[in-house]
Amino acid sequence: MFYRLAGVILLISVLVFSMSANAQENYREQIKGLDEQVQEIKTDVLSIAEQLNQLEEKLLYPSNTQVAVFISMVGGETFRLDSVEIELDGKPMAHHIYTFKELEALQKGGVQRIYTGNILAGDHDLQVLVLGKSVGGTDFQNTERFKVNKDVGPKIVELSLAAGSITFKDM
Amino acid sequence: MYRFFAALTILIFSASPAPAGTSGPQDLKDLYFGEALYHAYQGDWFDAISRLDTELNQHHGLDEPERDSLYYHINQAEFAVGDFELAYRMHQRAGRAITAVINGNVEEQVRNEAIFRLARIYFQKDQPVNALYAVERISGDVPADIRNDLDFLRAQILMANGRFTDAARILQDLQDVKSLEGFSTYNLGIALIRDDRELQGREYLDLTGRINSKDVLTLAIKDKSNLVLGTKLLEENNFESAKQVLDRVRLSGPFSNRALLGSGWAAAFQGRFDRALVPWSILAMREVTDASVQEAMLAAPYAYGKLDVYSKAAIMYSSALENFGIELDKLDASIKSIREGHFLRALVREELKQDANWVVKLRRLPQTPETYYLLELMATHEFQESLQNYLDLEQLRRKLEAWQGDLDAFEEMIAQRREYYTPLLPVIDREFRHLDSQMRLRLEQRDRIAQRLKNMLVVPRPDYLATSGERICSEEIGLLEQRLSSGDSAVPESFTTRIKRLRGMLHWNIYTEYDQRFTEAYRHLLDLDHEVDLLKNQYTDFVRTRQAATQSYEGYDEVIRSQRIRIREAGEKVEVLMARQGHMLETVAVSELTKRRERLAEFQIKARFAMADSYDRATRAQTQERESQ
């Protein structure tokens, strides 16, 4: 009884999910074949996505009126960013509340495109409100105003955030 | 629990530390590249690839790519897209992208890093010969940050090709590398054992099993090493040592259940059932769907029986029977539910995607019997790959569905723009043509004046700068002179003198004021040029806006139509693949669960007999005790 029981148990310990060699090989081949087809369809869909990106940009955000606002975090900053609110010429343009994953992505050096839209050529007022918690755990809010000058080409604005400041860069 | 699951899946199928993810550049110059990284850091691979692909294609299409901000990160971006594709399980494309870098005109270090990545893809895709061929092409300078990883990969590839002596030699040199702590030692142990240097190999497994570390993956490889060594010792009937080694496995690690079970058996095989009861009792209290736990439920009362505690054994067998019954019902329900198609529907539940721990949570959802044994199924590499593909296909399906809606919106927007601009533009164009001809005329006049002023710098012409009043006066004087000279009657001397004086005065003014007038004329021309510049800007703005108006609705029909066809075709393919992938998942799940069911049914029979036997023995013991009193 002891050895029979032990035999059964050890067999299970070693091979929890066992299959016959043939079935296993057959199964692997099927998986491989399907996997290759899945990779192909991913390539197709990515190519569609790329074309749609271009179409969307051309149709919705032509370069003479396009403005894009990006959010980044200054390297080494560890404050907790809760939300960013942006107004352009006094009108609310974007409001984003950050998840933990998004915050982590920003801290690692990722850049978030918070807004893409259209504005006329000329000077515009940009107001940024940042809410967060400092490393010490104190709530803070920081509001700053900047001037955006839009000319013929697409306007790209980067707002680089630190615990006590917002740096404005445009290109 | 999730960390347990992640460590388990990484370690069961490979003995490598997790590959380093793509890191961003120190000084980011291209924000769109940063955006791709932002998606990638969140594991949103599709958007990361799509963003970076768009950027790279735009960059490569430029006449002067060195003026593009991506130029500063181009090598990193090419690698990053390969990394993202790899993470998105697009190994073929990642391989092609990296091969393109290798074949391109790049520096030696860049080329070597690309070959390293290509070799890693081959290795991960179970193509050890190709991986070896790739890694052997690396020569010359290798970037410092990948040197150790490259050596480790080289050793793993050699092992996969059966060249254990060479692999061991490389691994020997990696023993002090902190980032490979545990992994280099464990692999060295395995390489030596496979190279018929059993004792030396075991020493390294033992060394791995004693590492002090706080790193989750290092601790997991330490546990794995102890489990492997312990199982070996157990198979060789070296029970005492096996137990010592198995007891080093953490109680909360991914291998703890199997280690506890083995530790119990190591004690039981020595006849030390009291010692066996310690790990088995811990194990029997754990998640009942785990195979080791189910075995412990049978093994623990068995040990009590051997210790002559039959009543306790009988109670535990009874409890095991009850649990097995419940589990068998669950398995039946799971199999039935999977056959009814609930399994696939449960896997794609949207709310679960918000939680990284979803595989574990899924099991706890009420009324989802199809998912009770999912974690166990996930422990198999093939199932995991298939499941991941199924989830990716579901993501593609949703995207394609959403894009169809986007195209509808685009078409509607284009129709509205056309409706708005079509009656408006002819009127505007007519007006514009009229203004345009006027503008051209004025510009020609301005050019003539400018040319004349330029000539006057060389050949002064004061008469050109006479005022209109002076011109009229001059003409009137001319007429008077003509009349006086043509008349028959004699003209009084005073008249002639007066006329000459008037002409002289006119002449005097024009010639003496020439310099001042010339300066003024030039100033006026500059003022005019300023106005002309404003006019030209307005003109350009108008032309651009006019062009944009047409471009806002013209030329999209063909693009949208072809995109619609591509989306529909892709959608059809996705559906077919999802059906096949789903069927495969269901078949495998049902097959695995059926096996688990059969095994559990066997356990149930054994438990039933053992319980009856324990009751008999308990009753006999009680009777004997009563008789002896």
User: For B585-599, what is each residue's pLDDT tens digit?
Assistant: 888 888 888 888 898
Q: Determine which helix (DSSP H) or strand (DSSP E) holds A143, and give its type and residue range.
A: strand A139-150
- Residue found under tokens 């010692």: B275
Alpha carbon distance B219, B611 (integer Å): 39
Alpha carbon distance A100, B14 (integer Å): 30
Stretch among A166-170, B183-187, B495-499 having the lowest mean pLDDT: B495-499
Confidence of residue B352 (pLDDT cuts 50, 70, 90): low
B389 → closest Cβ in A35, A45, A158: A35
Which tokens in the block code for residue A145? 């105003």
The answer to whether the CB atoms of A109 and B24 lie below 8 A apart is yes
Residue B72 included in any domain: no
Which residues does B307 contact at the CB level (< 8 Å), separation at least 6? B273, B274, B277
What burial letters (b/e) apply to B520-551, b meaning 16+ CB within 10 Å?
A: eeeeebeeeeeebeeeeeeeeeeeeeeeebee
Measure A140 CA to nearest chain B CA, in Å: 24
Of residues A155 and B106, more confidently modeled: A155
Measure A36 CA to nearest chain B CA, in Å: 8
Residues 116-145 of A with CB under 8 A from B: 121
B410 → closest Cβ in A28, A59, A105: A59
Q: From A152, which residue of chain B is nearest by alpha-carbon distance?
A: B541
Nearest in space to B34 (alpha carbons), one of B50, B48, B20, B21? B48
Contact B163, B190 (CB under 8 A): no
Alpha carbon distance B264, B299 (integer Å): 9
Residue B620 included in any domain: no
Contact B33, A110 (CB under 8 A): no
Alpha carbon distance B292, B262 (integer Å): 9
Q: From B22, which residue of chain A is nearest by alpha-carbon distance?
A: A108
Question: Contacts of residue A69 in chain B, CB cutoff 8 Å?
Answer: none
Residue B463 included in any domain: yes
Say whether residue A54 is in contact with chain B using an 8 A CB cutoff: yes
Alpha carbon distance B394, B398 (integer Å): 6
Share of chain B above pLDDT 90, in %: 42
Torsion of CA B130, B134, B136, B141, to 10 degrees: -170
Say whether residue B578 is in contact with chain A using an 8 A CB cutoff: no
User: Tell me, what DSSP letter sits at residue B492?
Assistant: P
Nearest in space to B374 (alpha carbons), one of B581, B537, B593? B593
Confidence of residue B367 (pLDDT cuts 50, 70, 90): low
Question: Contacts of residue B34 in chain A, CB cutoff 8 Å?
Answer: 70, 72, 109-111
Residue B322 included in any domain: no
Alpha carbon distance B313, B298 (integer Å): 10
Measure A128 CA to nearest chain B CA, in Å: 19
Amino acid at A104: E
Residue B63 included in any domain: no
B570 → closest Cβ in A2, A48, A106: A48
How many C-beta atoms surround the C-beta of residue B86 within 10 A? 23
> pLDDT tens, B509-544?
999 999 999 999 999 999 999 999 999 988 988 898
Which tokens in the block code for residue B482? 């003509």
Residue B480 included in any domain: yes
| Count of pairs with CB atoms under 8 A, one residue in A, one in B | 195
The answer to whether the CB atoms of A41 and B393 lie below 8 A apart is yes
Alpha carbon distance B335, B95 (integer Å): 39
Measure A50 CA to nearest chain B CA, in Å: 6
**pLDDT at residue B582 is higher than 50:** yes
Contact B255, B249 (CB under 8 A): yes
Strand A66-73 versus strand A155-161 pairing type: parallel
Residue A66 confidence (pLDDT): 92
> pLDDT tens, B70-84?
888 888 888 888 888
The answer to whether the CB atoms of B57 and A50 lie below 8 A apart is yes
Is the reported ipTM for this assembly greater than 0.90?
no
> pLDDT tens, B563-576?
999 999 999 999 99
> pLDDT tens, B445-479?
999 999 999 999 899 899 899 999 999 999 999 99
Alpha carbon distance B102, B97 (integer Å): 9
Residue A48 confidence (pLDDT): 94
Give the 3-state secondary structure of residue B165: helix
Residue A11 confidence (pLDDT): 38
Residue B157 included in any domain: no
Q: Provide the edge-to-edge strand list for the sheet that holds A122-133.
A: A91-97, A80-88, A122-133, A139-150
Question: Contacts of residue A158 in chain B, CB cutoff 8 Å?
Answer: 31
B54 → closest Cβ in A36, A53, A111: A53
**pLDDT at residue B1 is higher than 60:** no
Residue B551 included in any domain: yes
B50 → closest Cβ in A34, A50, A104: A50
Nearest in space to A76 (alpha carbons), one of A108, A122, A40? A108
Question: Contacts of residue B377 in chain A, CB cutoff 8 Å?
Answer: 17
Alpha carbon distance B212, B248 (integer Å): 12
Confidence of residue A13 (pLDDT cuts 50, 70, 90): very low
Which tokens in the block code for residue B599? 């095994």
pTM higher than the cut 0.90: no
Residue B5 confidence (pLDDT): 39
Residue B357 confidence (pLDDT): 57
Q: Any alpha helices (H) in B137-212, and if so which ranges?
A: 147-160, 164-173, 183-194, 198-208
B544 → closest Cβ in A28, A31, A64: A64
Measure A14 CA to nearest chain B CA, in Å: 9
> pLDDT tens, B245-262?
999 999 887 789 999 999
Q: Domain containing B544: what range?
A: 417-559
> Taking all residues of chain A, what is their mean pLDDT, rounded to a whole number?
84
Nearest in space to B309 (alpha carbons), one of B318, B320, B300? B300
Say whether residue B612 is in contact with chain A using an 8 A CB cutoff: no
Question: Contacts of residue B249 in chain A, CB cutoff 8 Å?
Answer: none
Say whether residue B94 is in contact with chain A using an 8 A CB cutoff: no
Question: DSSP readout, B231-286?
Answer: HHHHHTT-HHHHHHHHTTS-SSSTTHHHHHHHHHHHHHHTT-HHHHHHHHHHHHTS
Mean pLDDT of B65-74: 86
Question: Contacts of residue B544 in chain A, CB cutoff 8 Å?
Answer: 64, 152
Number of domains chain B is built from: 1
Alpha carbon distance B20, B13 (integer Å): 18
> pLDDT tens, B353-362?
555 555 555 5
How many C-beta atoms surround the C-beta of residue B421 within 10 A? 17
Residue A49 confidence (pLDDT): 94
Strand A91-97 versus strand A112-118 pairing type: unpaired
Nearest in space to B80 (alpha carbons), one of B113, B106, B104, B109? B113
Mean pLDDT of B605-622: 85
Question: Contacts of residue B306 in chain A, CB cutoff 8 Å?
Answer: 2
Of residues B274 and B79, more confidently modeled: B274
Q: Provide the edge-to-edge strand list for the sheet that holds A166-170.
A: A112-118, A66-73, A155-161, A166-170
Which tokens in the block code for residue B624? 């004997």
Which residues does B405 contact at the CB level (< 8 Å), separation at least 6? none
> pLDDT tens, B416-444?
999 999 999 999 999 999 999 999 999 99
How many C-beta atoms surround the C-beta of residue B436 within 10 A? 14
> Taking all residues of chain B, what is their mean pLDDT, rounded to a whole number?
86
> pLDDT tens, B276-316?
999 999 998 888 888 889 899 989 999 998 888 888 888 88
**pLDDT at residue A44 is higher than 90:** yes
Which residues does B253 contact at the CB level (< 8 Å), separation at least 6? B4, B7, B219, B220, B223
**pLDDT at residue B501 is higher than 50:** yes
Alpha carbon distance A74, A138 (integer Å): 19
Confidence of residue A1 (pLDDT cuts 50, 70, 90): very low
B291 → closest Cβ in A16, A38, A46: A16
The answer to whether the CB atoms of A111 and B31 lie below 8 A apart is yes
Q: Any alpha helices (H) in A85-166, and if so which ranges?
A: 100-107
Point out which residues pair with A81 in neighbouring strands. A132
Alpha carbon distance B86, B161 (integer Å): 23
Residue B351 confidence (pLDDT): 58
Residue B530 confidence (pLDDT): 95
